[in-house]
Structure formats: structure tokens, C-alpha cells
Structure 1
């Protein structure tokens, strides 16, 4: 790169015309930006901001004085030098510096640094977990999840309460508020909420095995409640959510604008919502909160990748997830388990997937999370998805 130096010139009238023309030409030439090269590697999920891996062509050895000076010339700071597996180094630099370095004739490549992590695998998991970590059948009797495992994310279970002492939660579950008895102990006397919470974040049964669970009880021991109770629960989550956060609503009823507005406003506050599509085999657009566009609406699939015959369907769905014969934690004891079916079981699979995403993208908006889950979902696997339904099956490990 040319360096312009200013200096005071003294000349006599006897300078030749050639010299004068040369000086004037140098003064009037327009400035040109330094050339920029290409940086490889995706700028997005997993990339490390301000960190690049540089490889050099054979004529310049990275550990040499000339090799080190090359990086310094462009304002980059060397953090690691490679001399055996690669001829190059890792550098700290802004994007402009990295692009200018990439344009140097001595440089072979510049690529973005990225995160890597070990992955955990669970043998013989519940079939729902087994299904959502692979694109194709048959099931492989395993569930693989990222190292983050939902850590740092809080999942709010707006339901019948949660047996927070269940061993599968490993001490990560707590009470939020009980809007049935109006107290601070959201204990589950029905079992639905504990099962849902187990699918979201249980150590054995859960998608996001390190996420925290907060119980918000809005349904009684018969699994019934009122719109006012449900809206109160949503309001509490909106006021008290520790973000990043996801809220799951495995409940619903006929379309109600107030319930829709409450969910929509809570999402606008930064809480991602996953909601059950409903179990009447009808268009989800007839039900609340399933019809809320900003929420992630989930239909139920079975072990053969068919829409469950009870699952609601239609364009309002975002995707499907396992919802038939799903085994998870039970409220009967601290080690109990139960097997349920319903879109109530499908939605928490998506809530767990949202928690996994938020653990690695803490500043993602609910719209970002919804987009990521839909884009990562496996396409074209569902049979009998229903008129207008997206043929999308939840997948937690698609890049």
C-alpha cells in the first residue's frame, strides 16, 4: 500500500518542465481506496466477531519476521501463529483490516473464526427427542444436543403448575405465581404442566437440558381455567421474565382477541412464545392463541411423520413436532413418568428448541427465533399435513 509523505520542497526557477509536470500530476491524482479481498466463512451464527484465520502463501513463513510484519502492516494483532498444520496465524482485526489483508499478494486466504463445541448424546431417549435431532427415519435411538443445552435461558410454563421437586429438573425448576389459588406456589395437581416442563427442559425427557423452568399456574387440577387467569399469567410473565426467555402455552380455546393481544404484547416485550395448535382436527386459525401470527404455532406429528389425526392444521401453523405417545415427567412423584398425546406435547418440543437457539443467540428477538426454527425444520417429511399447513418438522440440529 502506498504511503504518502508530506515534506517541504524548496526549488529554484530553474527546475525543468518535466519535474513541474510530475509534481502537479502527483498533486491532482484522485485518492484510491486500498484494495479489499474476500473473507470466507459465514458471518452469522457461530462466527466470532473480530477474529480471523489467515493462511500465507509458501514464499512467506508465518513465524518469520516478514510473516509477522505482514499482519502488523494492516493493523491486525496476531493471537496464534501456525507453523506446522498451517502456514498462517489467527488475528484480531476489524472487517476492513481483514479485507485489506486478504487482498495482499502474499496471503492465500482469510476466513472468519467460528465457535466449536462438543455435543452430548443421549442413548434410548423418548422417541420425540430421537426424532427432532435427525432429518430422516428410521430413528437412531439417540438424541444429540449442543453443549449450551439451553443454559442461561428461562422457560415459563403457563399451565397447570409444575412439580418443581421432580428429579428430572435437577433443581432448575421454580415457582412463579399461581393464578388459580392466588399464591406463590404453582404446584401441579393435574400433571399436564409437569409433563410439558419435562419435555422442554428435563434431564432425561427434555430438549434443552440446562434451561431453567418457571411454573405459572393458570389452570386448575382438572386442567381448566378462565381467560382472565390465562391473561393474568401472560401479564405476569411479561412483567417478570428474565431474558432470554421462552414461554410455552399448551392450552387454548376458541378465538379471543384479548388473549391474542396479551400474547402479542408479551412477544413484543421480548419473550418468545410457543403455542399448541389445538386438538380438534380443524384449522388452527379458529383458535387462540394458536392463531397469533407472532407466536410459534405447533401441530402434532406421530412416529411415522404423519399429522396426528387430532391435530389442528392450516396456514397458521409454523411447524410440526412429536405429539403422540410422548413420555415425560409426571406429577405423581419426584421420579414418576407419564405418556400423553396432544399438540400440548408437540409445543414444548419447540419451546426446548427455542431455548437451545436462545442459549447461543441471547440477543435474538422472538421473530429471529421463529425464523430460525422454521428455517432449520426438515421440509417435505410430513404426510397428510393438512390443507395449507407448512410441511415442516421440527429439527434442532440443522445448521
Structure 2
């Protein structure tokens, strides 16, 4: 009996052990899954992701690595980035994105989402008058040390109406990441207005700067993280320096956008951004929260923080942003309000500083503008905001 049962027990044990090994082998073969940053965001674009590769892979291998990763995990490659960050955008399922996030060559995968312009339509004019004097009332003049000659100002926005006579032939097309071509014309108006405040002859802070349109927002004034990062990447690679990049746009917190801003700044481009129009902490928004950017809050003509303006420790400076008159798409003028209108005042001031100090780093430009600002005049600046109003002299 013993001799009969003993082999039976051993065989059973072997069978169970074999089953255990088989089950264990199946479990080990299941692909690992990582986390997706920004998953569940309200402005998410389903099936679309931004992938940040680990930096040690090298710029030359980004395209090949993107192709290999999507071949392995599924999906397709959209845009590739080599300057503002090493990575790419991808269209794939959530499950494929999670598998991709676990790949050792990937630093993170972020849910692609929509960003929007930070301005709204309104009426009349005053901004330039305010920034060349310390205190109110307005003097009815705008005195400036130079016109931003020799500086290139990149406008990442809805495009620019380059034929507007107030640009004097200084506005040109860079690239259009909405239609993927070189015609970055404006079909919305926001970018033309912003460009006018940076550098038009009549309404611009820096009246002689070169203006380059980088279209990252569509005719409705919205674009994706992937398109914004592509625009920043293009500027980082192609900027004619000294250079300023204005981004009057924003959305939820996005690591990919922050990374792109940091690397563009490291490449020598001074980045100026709107803090946002939610009357909320700018530290919860990108690119406003990026420390390398000069983040701009808005004031009205009485030096109040605009009712819509974001605020907080992630912001750097205030500038006029209510009822700002500037160039209109198709010609003429229009008035708008928003931190979108405040940001280009500072971008223009940065161009003026760089014209006089062409070798200045982005960090030095930021420090210079903050040191020159008028202190303590903004009413209700918001918790944590530096009480500094832009001053050009």
C-alpha cells in the first residue's frame, strides 16, 4: 500500500508543482503597467499622450526609440521632440499607454489635454502709458530706451496676421503645429493682438523687435499639450538669439509643458507666460508654474489686480491686462482683457532689455525685470504674489 501510494503522492506533488510553475510563468509574462500623469483631467484628449524619454538616450535616437516603443507596446507616433525635451506624442489606448509608462526607456507618460488662450474681448486703451512711470495718474506719454532692435520675439499662439501695417513687415511665419505647415497665419485674432502688444509700431512695447508666429492654438483658441510642447521645441531648436518666447495660454498642471519651458530657457530663450484667468493659484497651472518662465499677472488702469487674474508664489510680476488695445486680425485695432494681454507687455520689456544686453541669460533677464519693477503699488495682489508692477526705463 505504501509502495503504491508513495509514487501517487509524488506524482500528484509534481503535477501540482508543474501547475504552479505554469501559473507563475503566465503571471510573469503579463506586461507591467505604469502610471499615467494627469489621467482623468477634465480637458483630457482621449487616446492621446505625451511621452518623456529618459535624457541619456541621446537626441539622435528619439525618432527611432519612439518607433521601437510604439511597435512594442502599440499605438502610433505623432510629434517628436528633441530640443525642449526628448520625447514624442502618441495615439494609443490607455492600456498601451500604461505599458509604455513601465518601459525602462521612458521617464513618464502624460495624458494629452487641451490648453486655451487666456484673454477675453473688451473695450479701450492705456497699457504702454502705465509701464514707463512709477505711479498714477497717467502721463499721456510712453518713453522707452530702445525698440528691441536685434531681438527676435516668438509668439506661440493662434498665429499672426502678418500683413497688418502696424507690424511694418517685421512679422514672419515660423511654423504651424495645427496644420503642420509653415503658414502660421492667424484665424482667431488672439495671437495678432498679443504680437501687437509685444512689438507693433503703435501699440507695442518693443517697437522694432522681429516677430515670429508659432501657431500652437487653433481657430477656437485651443491646442493640446503635444502641440504646445512641439512649438516650444521648435523655438528651442530654431531661435535666432537673443530671443524671447511669449505664451499667452494655459491649462492644468502638465509636466511635459514645464519640462519644455525649462529646456528652452536652458537653451537661452527667455520665456514669458500668462498666469491664467481663474482668480486662482498660478501654481496649479502650466506653463504658469514653471519656475524658469516669467509668469505674469494682470492689473487694471487703477493698479488693482484684475478680478480674473491668477496670483501666488509661482507668479513673478504684474502688467496691464484689462481693456488693452492692440492690433486686430485683418487690420485695425481691438481691445481685449486677460493675463494674455499682460504677458506680452513683459515680453516686450524683455526684448528691450535684451537689445541693450544681448548676452544676458534668461535668468538674468528675469532678475533685471523684477528688480526694475515698481514695488508695492498693486492693490489686492493675491496671496503669495510679489507686489511688483512692470517698469520700462
Q: What is the TM-score normalised by the length of structure 2?
A: 0.68
> Retained in 1: the 8 A contact 2:125–2:335?
no
SS at match of 1:298: strand
Structure 2 partner of 1:339 = 335
> Retained in 2: the 8 A contact 1:150–1:209?
yes
Cα deviations by residue, 1:114-164 (Å, 9 ceiling, x for unpaired): xxxxxxxxxxx9410000000000001110111x31000000000000001
Superposition pairs for residues 253-268 of structure 1, below 5 Å?
A: 253-268=251-266
Which residue, 279, 283, 286 being the options, matches 1:285?
Answer: 283
Q: Whose Rg is larger? A: 1
Distance, in Å, in 2 between the alignment partners of 1:139 and 1:186 is 36
1:389 aligns with 2:389: no
SS at match of 1:130: helix
> Retained in 1: the 8 A contact 2:297–2:339?
yes
Distance, in Å, in 2 between the alignment partners of 1:201 and 1:229 is 24
> Retained in 1: the 8 A contact 2:154–2:212?
yes
Structure 2 partner of 1:137 = 136
Distance, in Å, in 2 between the alignment partners of 1:339 and 1:390 is 27
> Retained in 2: the 8 A contact 1:278–1:311?
yes
> Retained in 2: the 8 A contact 1:126–1:205?
no
Cα deviations by residue, 1:258-289 (Å, 9 ceiling, x for unpaired): 11000110000000000000000000000000
Moved over 6 A (4+): none
1:376 aligns with 2:372: yes
Structure 2 partner of 1:275 = 273
> Retained in 1: the 8 A contact 2:313–2:385?
yes
More helix by share: 2
Structure 2 partner of 1:354 = 350
Which residue, 195, 201, 204 being the options, matches 1:203?
Answer: 201
Pairwise CA RMSD of aligned residues?
Answer: 0.9
Structure 2 partner of 1:121 = none
> Retained in 1: the 8 A contact 2:164–2:330?
no
Superposition pairs for residues 1-399 of structure 1, below 5 Å?
A: 126-146=125-145, 148-333=146-331, 336-397=332-393
Q: What is the TM-score normalised by the length of structure 1?
A: 0.67
Cα deviations by residue, 1:164-207 (Å, 9 ceiling, x for unpaired): 11111101110000000111010000000000000000000000
> Retained in 2: the 8 A contact 1:161–1:193?
yes
Distance, in Å, in 1 between the alignment partners of 2:165 and 2:265 is 31
Distance, in Å, in 1 between the alignment partners of 2:310 and 2:179 is 31
SS at match of 1:383: coil
How far residue 332 of structure 1 moved from its aligned partner, in angstroms, is: 2.6
Distance, in Å, in 2 between the alignment partners of 1:291 and 1:244 is 24
Which has the bigger relative contact order, CA under 8 A and spacing at least 6? 2
Distance, in Å, in 2 between the alignment partners of 1:187 and 1:297 is 26
Q: Which runs of 5+ in 1 are unaligned?
A: 1-124
Aligned length: 270
Q: Which runs of 5+ in 2 are unaligned?
A: 1-123
